[in-house]
Amino acid sequence: MKCALLFSGGKDSTYAGFLARKAGYEISCLITILSENLDSFMFHTPSITLTKKQAETMEIPIIIQKTKGIKEDELKELESVIKTAKTKYGVEGIVTGAIASVYQASRIQKLCNKLNLECFNPLWQKNPFELLEELIKNGFKVIIVGVGAEGLDESWLGREIDINMINDLNELNKKYGINPAGEGGEFESFVLDCPMFKKPLKLKNKRIAGNKNSWRMEIELN
């Protein structure tokens, strides 16, 4: 089945695409939403403009749609770009990286129902620690590009997801109750390498901004 992958460049959407391929789905295109609202309810925003670079190394076409990021209105832009993917690439389904957000999953499912498309959420209700361990096991190189929760600070930016990070997240989960997969917006990630990439991406520069427990890192790639 031909599918479009809702793609943010982070660990969840990328890993969802990886699992979808393993399950026999064809990823015909990627869909990235560029939201002007840094606190979008629906869409990941740190380093989001670099999904084009990731698409190039995956050799998968990408459709990029801008949105003001106004709550609920941003769904209209998503519907429009999904229609484009359906017409241009003949997609019959949508793959998402949703794990536990009913807000996101229910709205995407509603759009798929409206457009007569299958909705595949391979990470839905997956144990967050198992997810992180699977990323490492499958050769994903993932760095943190944004944090927004008590217990997380500027020092987390640029850290790679590895066993040490999983142990640290376990402690923060016990102390503050944060979701280890960052599903509650605790942190945002960016994939530099994975089995779907023809070659790894390398950092060139970074710009860091924020305060207290809210930080973002915008990156540039070679």
pLDDT of residue 30: 98
Q: Do 193 and 138 fall into the same domain?
A: yes
Domain end marker among 70, 97, 120 = 120
Unique residue bearing structure tokens 């084009």: 52
pLDDT of residue 180: 93
- CATH code assigned at 10: 3.40.50.620
Unique residue bearing structure tokens 């040490």: 164
Q: Do 149 and 209 fall into the same domain?
A: yes
Q: Do 115 and 132 fall into the same domain?
A: no
- The Cα-based distances of 163 to 11, 124, 130, 134, 141 in angstroms read 16, 23, 12, 11, 12
Q: Do 19 and 100 fall into the same domain?
A: yes
Q: Do 11 and 107 fall into the same domain?
A: yes
Q: Do 12 and 112 fall into the same domain?
A: yes
In 3D space, the residue among 119, 140, 129 whose CA is nearest the CA of residue 189 turns out to be 140
Q: Do 95 and 136 fall into the same domain?
A: no
Give per-10-residue mean pLDDT for the chain (222 aa). 96 97 98 74 67 97 82 79 96 95 88 96 96 98 94 95 97 93 90 97 93 91 88
pLDDT of residue 70: 60
Q: Do 24 and 102 fall into the same domain?
A: yes
d(CA 34, CA 117) in angstroms, rounded, equals: 23
pLDDT of residue 40: 54
The 10 Å Cβ neighbour count of residue 187 is: 28
Copy the structure tokens of residue 106.
């229910």
pLDDT of residue 74: 73
Domain end marker among 120, 142, 164 = 120
Q: Do 6 and 116 fall into the same domain?
A: yes
pLDDT of residue 37: 61
Q: Do 80 and 135 fall into the same domain?
A: no
pLDDT of residue 89: 97
Structural domains in the chain (count): 2
Which amino acid is residue 121, in one-letter code? N
Question: Coil, helix or strand for 83?
Answer: helix
- CATH code assigned at 204: 3.90.1490.10
Phi/psi of residue 57, nearest 5 degrees = -75, -20
Domain of 185 in residue numbering reads as 128-221
